[in-house]
Amino acid sequence: MSARRVRVPSLFGDGGDPGTERRPVPEEAGQRRRFLFAVPPLAGHVAPTVGVASELVRRGHKVAWAGRRAFLEPLLRRGSQIFQAEDEASAARLDRARDEWLGMRGPDGPRFLWEEFAIPLGHAMMPGLEAAVKRFRPDVVVSDQLVVAAPVAARLRGLPWATSAATSAGLVRPPRDLAGAEERVRELIGGFQLAHGIDDLIDLRFSDHLVLAFTTGALIGDTAFFPDHFAFAGPALRRPSTGDFPWRWLDEGNGRPVVLVSPGGDGPEGVRLAWDAAEAVADMDVRAVIVAPPEAVPGPPPGVLVRERVPRLTLLKRMAAVVCQGGHNTVCEALANGLPLVVVPVRADQEAVARQVAGAGAGIIVPGGRAGAAGLRSALGAVLDGDAPREAAARVAESFAAAGGAVHAADRLEKLA
């Protein structure tokens, strides 16, 4: 459907708080509720919801998931109830669009993400989500910002719904070079609602009932202008595991600091970052654990350990700093442990998170594609040798701990139900 030019109100200054009237909070204590989580086939967007869902289950509530079953099963606890809510015929096309977006640079990325992935994903998920809502009968729908079908399904049935803002990149005003893309995204979101029978248009990225933001003001900046239904819960971290890791290797460095390098993918940019990091630490009194396939760093130099998978949360407790591309989960996991960062962003969303890290004083940005071993070596030296980045990271860690994470998010969802 080719929608007319629509005007979806913006979080950043068009005024008003549009949407349906909020339901009253039930007063009865100890009620058991049903929560349906709708997520896209993006691991980083699923991760923060897992901790929240686990906390709800611990409290005795019923939780189900809507998304791509084959993608979700390895990420969720065994026995999780999953509703297949994606048109399987569209999966290959959506995966190609996702993979292309993951490697995109510059201002074209956000427009492409919504035109070629998020909106087509919404149309593909709409029938399955409506069926899931009908069968599961949730009291609350929890929707990732990229799953526009979930809030539409909830609104059509008059259900309260919450937004899961998996990355803080979408919570800040876009830079000027993305203003056109932002306007286009809002047009697409409006057109999607019109296509599915809703003409009371709102920005489906931000519920008017509850927005769960997995960050705090210590990282994102001033949160005073956000409405009260924005809950800044901090990261909802999973339970640490020891996993399969040669822990003795960490003790063989004679006290030298160890940094974690998390390229965030096996694409060309990730491989380049892994290799540059290996070269950088080879000339430093530093050791590194690089999370990458072995072929990304063939014949690593002494003091460099390459592992395709690591028990990240446990390992971070032994690290001195983190190098990454600016994925929100990796950044928050590092900062939750008080670790300074070197951020080498590629995509626009990573650049937004990187600016937040630098603004908080908790790390250094090295422009993606121009890092090289020398640039990484200089940035690593600065965050390891200076007190300011560690102190800033510690302040962010304190704010995360105080925010409550999954517990606070579950509290707010219970009040919404």
**Average pLDDT value for the chain:** 89
Query: What are the structure tokens assigned to 290, written together?
Result: 């690089």
Give the per-residue pLDDT at 6. Answer: 54
Residue 75's SS3 state is helix
Q: What is the pLDDT of residues 11-34, one digit of tens each?
A: 555 443 333 333 343 444 468 999
User: Is the pTM here over 0.85, yes or no?
Assistant: yes
CB 76 within 8 A of CB 47: no
- Helix (H) or strand (E) holding 366, with range, is none
Closest to 3 (Cα-Cα) out of 202, 199, 191? 191
Q: What CA–CA distance (Å, rounded) separates 358 from 364?
A: 6
Query: What are the structure tokens assigned to 82, written together?
Result: 């999953």
Burial classification of residue 126, based on how many CB atoms lie within 10 Å of its CB (0-12 exposed, 13-18 middle, 19 or more buried): buried
Q: What is the pLDDT of residues 236-247, one digit of tens each?
A: 987 767 678 999
- Which residue is listed with tokens 């803080």? 168
Q: Count of CB atoms within 10 A of residue 221's CB?
A: 15
Give the per-residue pLDDT at 30. Answer: 60
AA letter at 290: I
CA distances to 72, 130, 351 from 118, rounded to whole Å, are 18, 17, 20
Give the per-residue pLDDT at 24. Answer: 42
Residue 82's SS3 state is strand
Q: What CA–CA distance (Å, rounded) separates 353 from 346?
A: 11
The two most distant CA atoms of the chain are separated, in Å, by: 66
CA distances to 96, 127, 274, 305 from 300, rounded to whole Å, are 32, 49, 10, 7
CB 412 within 8 A of CB 210: yes
Give the per-residue pLDDT at 246. Answer: 94
Which parts of the chain register pLDDT below 50? 1-4, 14-29
Q: In 52-208, at which residue ranges do the beta strands (DSSP E only) sit? A: 62-67, 81-84, 140-144, 161-165
Give the per-residue pLDDT at 240. Answer: 67
Domains and CATH numbers, the chain: 34-213 (3.40.50.2000), 247-402 (3.40.50.2000)
Closest to 209 (Cα-Cα) out of 19, 356, 348? 19
Give the per-residue pLDDT at 268. Answer: 79
